[in-house]
Amino acid sequence: MPELPEVQAHAERLDSAFAGAEIERFSPLSFTALKTAIPSPEAAVGQRLVFVGRRGKYLLLDVGGLTFVVHLMQGGRLRVDEAQKAKPRGGIARWRFTDGRALLLTEAGTERKAGVWVVAGDPEETEPLARLGPDADQVPATQLGDLLAAHSMRLHGFLRDQRIIAGLGRRLANEVCHRAKLSPFASTTKLDRTDVEGLAEAIGACVNESLAYERGRDDMSSSKDRPGNVHHREGQPCPVCGDTVRAVEYRSYTVNYCPTCQTDGRLLADNTTSKFLK
């Protein structure tokens, strides 16, 4: 799933290309596309796109009094629609502009979880943004320490919980833990001041490195192309110490880590559905 860096860089590209364009029509192409009923997206017709921004993992298309909040989920993409076919493959929704251009929201696969919310007023006060924690790259070490102390859980789950801090997902959680030299299974309430400061620095560094990579591209990267030291690199040598990168696999995601860098050489396992590389 695209995380903060991918969504931020893509918002910047879309803003550069489409800010100021007048909306001619918004068309849901799937019955799952529109997640809200009021206000009607028709209210955006004739309005100009003020800017394209980001909050957490959501894209924000601001048209003044209304905001289209877009979640790409796992396989969604919002791209320029050159062909403007009546039934585009994987099509979820389309924004058509009076200058003849269009943006198309698509989603690969069959789950169709990507979608659009139309909200009036401050989008931060309305679902789905109202439930988000602060953006991960805007959390100083002192605030991060308070959040860690207030939520007793494993560190990897903490970093992925959008209600606590927003914008990080599975890849960045793996990379941040590795950069901070902390076990992904470390208890959030047992981290000391040095750990918290290192974690804050690791979040900033991992986000900035990924953002620089994304800004150098013409379009959003695929998961396999994104930079990293441990994510989906089980069986490969850790670029820091040379130990073998390991994995704990769950039904819907994988935790990757380096035993030497993060767990004092110990292998991690879960007693439910996990397995790890030996």
Q: Two tokens at 170?
A: 């599975």
If asked whether residues 143 and 113 sit together in one domain, one would say: no
Tokens 């890849």 belong to 171
Any domain includes 46? yes
If asked whether residues 92 and 146 sit together in one domain, one would say: no
Residue range of the domain that includes 142: 136-232
* CA–CA distance, 53 with 30 (Å, rounded to integer): 24
* Phi, psi (rounded to 5 degrees) for 34: -90, 120
If asked whether residues 36 and 22 sit together in one domain, one would say: yes
Confidence class for position 110, pLDDT limits 50, 70, 90: low
The domain that holds 69 is classified in CATH as: 3.20.190.10
pTM, 2 dp? 0.93
Any domain includes 123? yes
Question: Strands, DSSP E only, in 85-239?
Answer: 91-97, 102-107, 115-120
Q: How far is CA 101 from CA 34, 90, 129, in A?
A: 21, 19, 28
If asked whether residues 35 and 121 sit together in one domain, one would say: yes
Q: How many CB atoms lie within 10 A of CB 124?
A: 12
Q: Give pLDDT tens digits for 179-199.
A: 999 999 999 999 999 999 999
The domain that holds 167 is classified in CATH as: 1.10.8.50
Beta bridge partners of 57: none
Any domain includes 252? no
If asked whether residues 200 and 123 sit together in one domain, one would say: no
Query: What per-residue string of b and e applies to 241-272 under the rule 16 or more CB within 10 Å gives b?
Result: eeeebbbbbeeeeebbbbbebbbeeeebeeee
Instruction: Write down the pLDDT at residue 274.
Output: 41
Any domain includes 262? no
| Count of domains forming the chain | 2
Q: Would you say the C-alpha torsion 119, 123, 126, 129 has a positive or negative sign?
A: positive
If asked whether residues 101 and 168 sit together in one domain, one would say: no
If asked whether residues 31 and 121 sit together in one domain, one would say: yes
If asked whether residues 32 and 77 sit together in one domain, one would say: yes
Any domain includes 107? yes
If asked whether residues 112 and 212 sit together in one domain, one would say: no
Q: Give pLDDT tens digits for 132-170.
A: 999 999 999 999 999 999 999 999 999 999 999 999 999
